[in-house]
Amino acid sequence: VFHSTPYAPPDAIFALTAGYQQDKFDKKVNLGVGAYRDNEGKPFVLPVVRKAKQILASDDSIDHEYLPIAGLPSFVSATSKLIFGADSRAIKEDRVVTIQTISGTGANHYGGAFLQRFYEPWLGKSKEEKKIYVSNPTWANHKAIFNSVGLTPVDYPYYDSSTIGLALSSFLDFLRTAPAQSVILLHACAHNPTGVDPTRDEWKEIAKIFKEKGHFAFFDCAYQGFASGDLDNDAWAVRHFVSESIPLLVCQSYAKNAGLYGERIGALNIVASHAGDVEGGAARIKSQLLILQRQEISNPPTFGARIVSLILNDEKLFAEWKEDIETMAHRIIAMRERLHALLVDKYKTPAPGPNGWDHVVKQIGMFTFTGLNPTQCKAMVEKGHIYMTANGRISMAGINDKNVEWVAECIDKAIRG
């Protein structure tokens, strides 16, 4: 009965991790998956997370009952404040609907599924007409997620390979010419995979067109804190869009900024035009998200939500978390500088773009989009045992004092052929 089942290719990112694990070469490096490693190349359990786990372990009042369908209430209320700001008008006016999700992936999935069912400009439209515009390039999973919920992902210009930077004018032209009320996915900060973010002035221009055209902003925020080391700073674009009353939703993930990759803890936040059970009201939106959640997972899991809730709701733990985030963000920035110096000063490696290797230090967040072409990327994997995606992305979080020389040497060799 399964004769017609075709073989599906393995996931490009996680296949790299599998290849890396099987590799016996002593200098192998995994720069594929976006997962933070410490300077020893080891997974990093944030000190604040260790503390939160101890608190949970010694709390005898904790049981194993189901959570409410929307998630752990103390997590749900705190997570929306983290992204929108505690003094957010939308929160004070009860217009923010938040549910706990299976990390950012689950949030993207529900965000897409909700729009597919209820986004008014799409009512009565076919899958082909329900276009969600995504940056070219974007996170490898975005298109698969949106396709799976009955949307049609379509690229918009974002990255300029000739400058290894933002294709601002094409991006703005696209926003101006796209049909009114288009749904457009934006990376809130630390764009994955390019590490290329708009500046605040550029975000303002982008927001202005969103407002004029009535576009819907589908924000994916998987790296809050990772771009600058500062949680509020990294939420700036989202908060600016909210202040401009642009219709939007925000997907959150605590995989990277709390190192809770396996706990799958995240949230979907939709900003409604009104509070309560009225047309477009938050209560109606929430009621539909609860249905989605019930159909898919019934009730979200407890562990990650309890950890993050402790951290977000306790002043002392929150301050410690900020320090941990700074530790991670600053180590990545230091590695950017080391790699840049090695390529420029030691190896004098010919650069793939017009601005030398400046993009290595200018790009933001966990990833560097090196500018290496697919043949050079293949050489990195096959000759250098440096696991990286074929689009030229490397996870800076996989680089450390011990392997940075080897990474630079291999980039040099790959570029020189």
Which residues are identified as catalytic? 139, 220, 256
Cα gap 113→149, rounded to integer Å: 5
Q: How far is the CB of 110 from ligand LMR (least distance, A)?
A: 17
90-129 per-residue burial string, b: 16 or more CB within 10 A, e: under 16: bbeeebbbbbbbbbbbbbbbbbbbbbbeebeebeeeeeee
DSSP string, 366-385: SEEE----HHHHHHHHHTT-
Nearer to ligand LMR, 33 or 282 (CB): 33
Give the pairing of strands 248-253 and 265-271: antiparallel
Q: Which residue is nearest to ligand LMR (CB)?
A: 34
Tokens of 188: 């809130």
9-28 residues in contact with ligand LMR (CB under 6 A) are: 13
Q: Is 223 in the site for ligand LMR (CB under 6 A)?
A: no
Which range binds ligand LMR by CB under 6 A, 135-143, 271-279, 337-345, 403-411? Answer: 135-143
Which range binds ligand LMR by CB under 6 A, 139-147, 293-301, 338-346, 375-383? Answer: 139-147
- Residue 43 dihedral angles phi and psi, to the nearest 5°: -55, 145
Outline where 149-302 has alpha helix (H): 168-177, 200-213, 231-234, 236-243, 282-296
The answer to whether 206 and 172 are in contact (CB under 8 A) is yes
Nearer to ligand LMR, 134 or 342 (CB): 134
Q: Is 293 in the site for ligand LMR (CB under 6 A)?
A: no
Of 20, 34, 237, 265, the one binding ligand LMR by CB under 6 A: 34
Which range binds ligand LMR by CB under 6 A, 60-68, 116-124, 133-141, 194-202? Answer: 133-141
Which sign does the torsion angle of CA 120, 270, 208, 132 carry?
negative
Of 77, 141, 181, 313, the one binding ligand LMR by CB under 6 A: 141
Residues 186-215, one symbol each (x = binds ligand LMR by CB under 6 A, - = not), give ------x-----------------------
The answer to whether 252 and 107 are in contact (CB under 8 A) is yes
Q: Among 396, 416, 417, which Cα is nearest to 407's?
A: 396
Of 20, 110, 114, 139, the one binding ligand LMR by CB under 6 A: 139
| CB atoms closer than 10 angstroms to residue 219 | 23
Q: Is 266 in the site for ligand LMR (CB under 6 A)?
A: no
Nearer to ligand LMR, 109 or 131 (CB): 109
Nearer to ligand LMR, 352 or 365 (CB): 365
> Looking at this protein, which amino acid is placed at residue 228?
S
> Looking at this protein, which amino acid is placed at residue 158?
Y
Nearer to ligand LMR, 142 or 286 (CB): 142
Q: How far is the CB of 32 from ligand LMR (least distance, A)?
A: 7
Q: How far is the CB of 34 from ligand LMR (least distance, A)?
A: 3
